Chain A
Amino acid sequence: MARALWKGNEALAEAAIRAGVDAFFGYPITPQTELLEYMARRMPELGRVFLQAESEIAAINMVYGAACAGARAMTSSSSPGISLMQEGLSYIAGSEVPCVVVDIMRGGPGLGNIQPSQADYFQLTRSAGHGDFHPLVLAPATLQEAVDLMYASFDLAFRYRTIVIIAGDGALGQMMEPVEMPPMRPPAQDRPDWAVFGAKGRPPRAITSLYLDAEELEQVNQRLQAKLKVIAAGEQRWECYLTEDADYLVVAFGTVARIAKSAVRAARAMGVRAGLFRPISLWPYPSGMLGTLIAQMRGVLVVEMNAGQMLEDVRMAVCGRVPVRFLGRMGGVIPLPDEIAAEIVHMARTRQRGNGHGAQRLLQFKE
């Protein structure tokens, strides 16, 4: 299939359609609205369900209902809307029904702005709602990868009966890039054996997240945790770029990671052997691979569009073995290749001048 130039939000929508999404429920919010608008055009054409909900709260609960019926259901939103969905996501996690959520992150906290951000990292990976659970969080850096991950997301969601979140940002949603679309798959015909759709010829089923008995709920949690362990072991994704001979490692995800690629090339042109580690799955975090890479590095630079959220995962993987620096831009400001490159070079020079106390971990914000 030929490549075509796609806008990020629309490419995500088309990829979901080709993956066989049965139902989309959403609410307008910049910078993801084109995804909803694209679904509003395409889903009815295909005889599938599109509904603009009265709020993000309603949207995620409609997803919950459709998912209980065994449908491939999804929603998309941006940071403030994802906050409103926390309740529904927790119920979905507790009920173990599959669904896919797209978060095109914007600047916060509060109303913030509509510029790109990665400040939902904690919200998505740590606490996408009350209770103990993690969604599977995938962070594409290019539109092709966004499409490929979106295409795979429903299979992952159904395989594990879990929430899959595609974590992008305003830049990913708004930019255009050539994409090769995967083939159209028909919506699934069979209903899963856990779904509710009328108790015809079988005992009734109930889908719930309510277990009043403490021991029973603990057992449910233990089962959930066991499942999360399987996901954690099997679904770590990452990319290593120019890491083989690298002395200094940049760790970044999503849009920032592709910007950091340019910075790594620029740093190499300035004589610093830099490489990039790009987590694609934010949960499960590819800590093992990062920990292995660390052994050969003299320094690590974490770059994010937030105040240092993935930084915590990097620190846990690094375990104090090498200095970790941080460059964070907030409020929708995108770090550009030159400032990341300058930071890499600065890290290398500081390290060379070091007097044996180089293991001191530095944390700084770039003005």
Chain B
Amino acid sequence: METSIIISGFGGQGALFAGQVLAHAAMESGKEVTWIPSYGPEMRGGTAHCTVVIGDEPIGSPLVRNPHCVIAMNLPSVDKYEPLVAAGGRLLYDSSLVKRPLHRTDILGVAIPAHDIALRCGSQQLVNITMLGALVTLCPLVELAAVEQALRIHLPERHAELLRPNILALHAGAAYIREQRIATS
């Protein structure tokens, strides 16, 4: 069984990094995983996204058309991926930025005021990890502790002072899902 996740946002929001943290956590948890970025001009402004596939057997395709889970950190990402999420899948979006309702009824849309949560944790730069905390609480991909450990190991040294805020944001995102009593599976 493979689970595919797309994380998408503006360039600079850390979509690719959040995906890498998830991939590291999956690998350290003994799972098979692939991570593949969009590496076109969107890296330099515009939207950036990555695809993470996690499974128990060696991963076939590192790319999917219909992901099981999507983290959308801006409106263009919601517009692009809402039609693509697999039926029964999950679309987590930043409701601080995206004000429109979702159209699909066959997916679970999860509105997370990630921007506000991130600001409370210290910086709007923490939206990506806030969303990641929410994702791994919502879906049984990897343990939250494994993600925290991946952050500790893989946050670049030049950002060492951001480790605590990142861990704070990770747990705040997770707490939001638990407090809202959103059905997890």
Contacts and interface: CB of A to CB of B under 8 A. Distances in A.
A313 interface: no
A261 B60 contact: yes
29 contacts: A5-B20, A5-B33, A5-B35, A114-B39, A115-B40, A170-B39, A171-B36, A171-B63, A174-B36, A174-B37, A174-B39, A175-B35, A175-B36, A175-B37, A175-B62, A176-B23, A177-B34, A177-B62, A255-B62, A258-B59, A258-B61, A259-B60, A260-B60, A262-B2, A262-B60, A336-B63, A337-B60, A338-B65, A339-B65
Interface of A: 3-5, 30-31, 113-115, 142, 170-171, 174-178, 255, 258-263, 265, 334, 336-339
Contacts of A259: 60-63
Interface string B18-35: 001001100100001111
B23 A5 contact: yes
A177 B32 CA distance: 8
B66 interface: yes
A113 B155 CA distance: 31
Contacts of A170: 39
A175 B64 contact: no
A114 B20 CA distance: 22
A258 B58 CA distance: 10
Contacts, number: 69
A3 B2 CA distance: 20
A175 B61 contact: no
B39 A31 contact: yes
B35 A177 contact: yes
B32 to A, nearest CB: 7
B40 A337 contact: no
A240 B86 CA distance: 30
Given A5-B23, A114-B39, A114-B40, A178 B32 contact: yes
Nearest to A332: B40
Contact of A336 (B32, B35, B65): B65
Nearest to B35: A176
A-B pairs with lowest CB-CB distance, top 9: A262-B60, A261-B60, A259-B61, A262-B61, A176-B35, A175-B36, A336-B65, A337-B61, A178-B27
B66 A338 contact: yes
Most B CB within 10 A of own CB, among A171, A177, A261, A263? A177
A259 to B, nearest CB: 4
Contacts of B61: 258-259, 261-263, 336-337
B34 A176 contact: yes
A208 B166 CA distance: 60
Contacts of A336: 61, 63-65
Given A115-B40, A175-B36, A334 B27 contact: no
Q: How large is the interface on B (under 10, 10 to 19, 20 to 34, 35 or more residues)?
A: 20 to 34
A135 B54 CA distance: 36
Interface in B26-76: 27, 32-37, 39-40, 58-66
A353 to B, nearest CB: 27
Contacts of B63: 171, 259, 334, 336
B59 A177 contact: yes
B44 to A, nearest CB: 12
Given A5-B24, A338-B66, A178 B60 contact: no
B35 A337 contact: no
A263 B61 CA distance: 8
A118 to B, nearest CB: 15
Contacts of A255: 62
Nearest to B37: A174
Given A261-B61, A265-B60, 13 more contacts: A171-B36, A175-B36, A177-B35, A177-B59, A178-B27, A178-B32, A255-B62, A259-B60, A259-B62, A336-B61, A336-B63, A337-B64, A339-B65
A273 B104 CA distance: 34
Contacts of B24: 5
A336 B63 CA distance: 7
B33 A178 contact: yes
Most B CB within 10 A of own CB, among A5, A170, A258, A263? A5
Contacts of B37: 174-175
Contacts of B60: 258-262, 265, 337
A293 B137 CA distance: 47
Nearest to A3: B27
A196 B3 CA distance: 55
Contacts of B40: 113-115
A271 B62 CA distance: 24
A170 B61 CA distance: 14
Most A CB within 10 A of own CB, among B20, B39, B62? B62
A176 B16 CA distance: 11
Given A114-B39, A176-B34, A177-B34, A258 B64 contact: no
Most A CB within 10 A of own CB, among B20, B23, B36, B40? B36
